[in-house]
C-alpha cells in the first residue's frame, strides 16, 4: 500500500512537471525568442564554416571535418544561452507570478527541472539542424565519407552537455534577481569563468603541481577530452555534477524566500 501511494505521488508530480515543461517550451516556441535563438546560432555557424575566409572555413581548410563547429559553438552558447534563460525565473519574480507558481502542488525542484529541461531542449533543437553540415562534408570528402564519425559524435555529446551546464548556470542566475539584464550579465560571467577561467589560472603556472587539478575543474578541459570521440565516465560525471551543483544553488535561492519572511 505504501509503495502504491509513493508511485502515485511520483506519477502525479511527473505529470505536473511535464505540464510546466511543455508550458515553458511553448513560451519559447510561440514567441520570437526561441526561433531567434535557433536562427542566430545556425547563421553564425554557417558564416564561420562556409562563408567567411577564416581557418574554420570547411572549403578553404581542405580537410573533411567540422571541427570549427565545435570550437565556435561554445562561444556562441556563452551569450545565446544566458539570453534564453535570463527570464525563466527573473521575469516570474518581477511580475509577482513566482509566488503563484510556488504555491501550486509542485516542489521547487520540479519547477527548476521543468525550466532546465525546456532550456536544454531548445539547445538541442538549435544543434540538431547542424547535422546537415555532416552530410555536406560527407559528400565533399575525398574519398566520399572520409569522416571521423567517432570524434563528431563525441563532440556533439560534449556540446550538448556543455549546453546543459550553461542552462543550469542561466537558471541559477535568473533565480537570484528580478532584473533580466542582471541575470544575463551574471550568467555570461559565470559561464565564461567556468569555461575558460580555470584554464587561464592554470596557464599562469603559479600553482605548481596544482595547475593540472585547477585546469580539470574547468569545462573546457572535459569538453576537449570528450571531443576526441572517447566517452570517458569521468567527463560525463563532471558534467552532471556541474549541472547538479548549479541546480542545487537554484533550489537554495528559491528557498531563501522563506528565510526573509
According to the per-residue pLDDT averaged within each range, which of 184-193, 213-222, 252-261 is highest? 184-193
On the question of pLDDT at 43 being above 50, the answer is yes
Average pLDDT estimate for 104-114: 77
- What is the chain's mean pLDDT, rounded? 80
Residue 20 has what pLDDT? 77
Residue 102 has what pLDDT? 60
Residue 72 has what pLDDT? 86
Residue 102 lies in a domain: yes
Residue 185 lies in a domain: yes
For the stretch 143-192, pLDDT in tens is: 666 677 777 888 888 899 999 999 999 999 998 888 889 999 999 999 99
Residue 213 has what pLDDT? 81
State the residue range of the domain holding 171. 2-255
Distance CA 204, CA 88 (A): 37
Residue 126 lies in a domain: yes
Average pLDDT estimate for 230-248: 89
Residue 101 has what pLDDT? 62
On the question of pLDDT at 259 being above 50, the answer is no
Distance CA 87, CA 94 (A): 9
Tally of domains in the chain? 1
pTM, 2 dp: 0.86
Burial status of residue 48 (CB atoms within 10 A of its CB: 0-12, 13-18, 19 or more): buried
Residue 209 lies in a domain: yes
**Alpha-carbon distances of 171 from 116, 121, 136, 240, rounded to whole Å:** 7, 14, 35, 15
Cell of 83: 539570453
Residue 131 lies in a domain: yes
Residue 3 has what pLDDT? 56
- The share of the chain scoring above pLDDT 70, in percent, equals 77
Amino acid at each position: 500500500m505504501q509503495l502504491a501511494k509513493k508511485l502515485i505521488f511520483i506519477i502525479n508530480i511527473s505529470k505536473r512537471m511535464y505540464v510546466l515543461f511543455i508550458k515553458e517550451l511553448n513560451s519559447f516556441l510561440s514567441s520570437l525568442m526561441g526561433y531567434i535563438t535557433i536562427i542566430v546560432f545556425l547563421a553564425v555557424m554557417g558564416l564561420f564554416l562556409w562563408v567567411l575566409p577564416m581557418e574554420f572555413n570547411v572549403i578553404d581548410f581542405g580537410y573533411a571535418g567540422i571541427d570549427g563547429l565545435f570550437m565556435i559553438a561554445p562561444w556562441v552558447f556563452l551569450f545565446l544561452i544566458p539570453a534564453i534563460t535570463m527570464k525563466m525565473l527573473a521575469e516570474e519574480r518581477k511580475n509577482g507570478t513566482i509566488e503563484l507558481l510556488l504555491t501550486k502542488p509542485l516542489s521547487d525542484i520540479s519547477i527548476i527541472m521543468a525550466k532546465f529541461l525546456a532550456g536544454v531542449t531548445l539547445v538541442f533543437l538549435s544543434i540538431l539542424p547542424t547535422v546537415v553540415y555532416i552530410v555536406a562534408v560527407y559528400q565533399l570528402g575525398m574519398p566520399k565519407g572520409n569522416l571521423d564519425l567517432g570524434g563528431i559524435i563525441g563532440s556533439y555529446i560534449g556540446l550538448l552537455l556543455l549546453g546543459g551546464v550553461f542552462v543550469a548556470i542561466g537558471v541559477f542566475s535568473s533565480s537570484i534577481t528580478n532584473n533580466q539584464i542582471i541575470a544575463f550579465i551574471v550568467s555570461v560571467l559565470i559561464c565564461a569563468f567556468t569555461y575558460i577561467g580555470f584554464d587561464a589560472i592554470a596557464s599562469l603556472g603559479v600553482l605548481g603541481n596544482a595547475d593540472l587539478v585547477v585546469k580539470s575543474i574547468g569545462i573546457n578541459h572535459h569538453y576537449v577530452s570528450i571531443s576526441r570521440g572517447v566517452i570517458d565516465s569521468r567527463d560525463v560525471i563532471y558534467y552532471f555534477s556541474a549541472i547538479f551543483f548549479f541546480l542545487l544553488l537554484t533550489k537554495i535561492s528559491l528557498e531563501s524566500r522563506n528565510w526573509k519572511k
